[in-house]
A and B are shown apart, each in its own frame.
Chain A
């Protein structure tokens, strides 16, 4: 079954009281703060209830909110040995004040406004990692980590499931897998699909066992003729992989899709992320298998970077650098890349890993020699991305505002029918004389510490305000700095700090330096969808995604503005086209089609 070092013990020391139902107090990190916070929340709840009794008015939505406060306090992430699956908002709230001072009176109706129109969300509750994305018998399948019990990550994580013909319109299906075996009773976690050459599908996923050990498990479609892959059968011999000797029982998860390394010997390989000490190094290990049941751990590591901690959700895939032949337009299959099957041009491999420690994604480029990465991979900021052609089918209209020049310290409202679901294309140019006249400006600028779009420099910030109304706005902007040597550095930032009047949410300024070549205009594409703002600057060289929760900039009050908050330069929007986006109208599950 599994191939393990014989020195590895079969059973693992059970963890203390990790599975008590309703126990959300775990985590020694939190133990110190929680009792006070819980007491305060409970106290304010009692006060509220007392007030309600006095005033005689029904307050269902209020008590609902307060209860949520209590449950929002701690996700079980670190407890179960996985990254914290929250935004950190509960910390901001509990840390900043005791009880409900900071709490915004959210109600279900308000939260309903925030639901996206053309981005996928489950009908309710918590979702995280996408799982096993696969195209099978004419349907695109999206599985995802889903908590059936509530709006935070939990200990009964299941696989949600939805299908689409076009990656835009989705149909919800029943849960594909739930935690119902000893080996995944604490969570059916992330995994990947592999389509075999004969069309069969093998799904590998991580189970968190009854003792919270991370193991890999195999599942196959119960009915391979069902194109909707509604039901799944877990392999009776699960788990197929236990953590190897050198790897901790909670550092072994998220298997990748497998690839044929050498079709002649019918051997598949796949990668699993982990970490090792000393040096707190993140690593990627490779397994070899012929049948997805028996595995052999390859010696060494595929990649390793010290100080980065646990690598989650590894992706490993090839890209082709040529402009014709297989893969040039549509991406390339890993097996084809390795066997150079029809490939014209150089093949480069991309490894993406999600760092548990800082919850950012990192990409590295390198070359794959049989069994290991060859050249020294180097981290890259982003890869260009976006299923543009599909998303563009949702465009309902186009309003062209190109050619507007906006003076410094100005805003310009864009008149749109509705500004909650948008696809905006913009290209900006700074007044070149002004740029030349400045000697030096803002060399030390940094998006995250800048304080956002309110802080003015000579040559920035300028860009767009979206989901904007009165005090609420999300700013997407460029900020140009000029060195003493005359060289320009362009920063691209997204400012959430004023995105909502509510204070019990995380609001940051994110961004970084974006490469701009001589002669290029500053371009950005922004997708707006109720509570999501996604931006792609310079064709994707720098990207930002924000979740924002406006309380006033909603419905017809959500506006878009062009703004220039620089002190010394005019800005021209050479291109400014705004498309309103239709909703994807995802369908609820129906027992019969």
Chain B
């Protein structure tokens, strides 16, 4: 048998057949991408076919009813988002694919919303933007930052697509910054700009790690501590002041305290036994606006243990600071008119000089135990 020649012949024939097959069944070109406006009407011609050619249209592989056709053209009225898809027209008899259209239904962009903020003063500021309504098709944004006539670089945020960062080169500038953004997609274009002074956009992040603790033996006190936000780069030269608000969960009215220094405060007028919600906000001492409120802390003031009707009833009256209870002896209790209903021992004003020493020791041990 003369094997090579007939085998070669078959191989060539098979290859030729494959080529012809793919030519007949694959598109002459990649699908034509088309963007159309939501609510509009569109007529899709079947490529270069004559108007009176006999064609069938399919969308995503599903046949379309012939009543949508105008000759060989597909007519879609009142486009909805659901009309997006891959449209293909075939020669009716041979099922030869004539044309493909990848249709995206969307909207031109409306005016973007742009805002800038400095939570890292004096290092820099960031700008973020978004569209008020979706376009359903891809958009590209272009941000430019001008300081007077000087163009500044806005570095894209590594994580967030709609944010970029600008570093301050100069501080205390009298010249305003102008940030412009333009957005465009296949259906349209829009832009906006904002102008501001360096000082007006300063807004720190909220304070961190807000913790509220009851104060032992003080049924109307709560001790609140927090930290300056970690994003604020230089609290020494750019100190923050704080605003604290608190209320018992059962009431709607907030109490407010403004603190110009320190990261701790003791609430002294809490309602005994009620759970409190506490929040803190921060602001640069001189410029800018208040931060958002911090994550809320919850705490309930200290309440005395209920007495048991046993012979041990006498014991709490005579405990000293050497027992496991960290409360100072009631007979040496500090006279505090605010501590009503404390159920403790008698107040003894003439013993004030003594409690100072004892309470200091007790407070110290309390502080130590709290730090465990």
The yes or no verdict on A and B being binding partners is: no
**A-contacting residues of B (Cβ < 8 Å)?**
none
**B-contacting residues of A (Cβ < 8 Å)?**
none
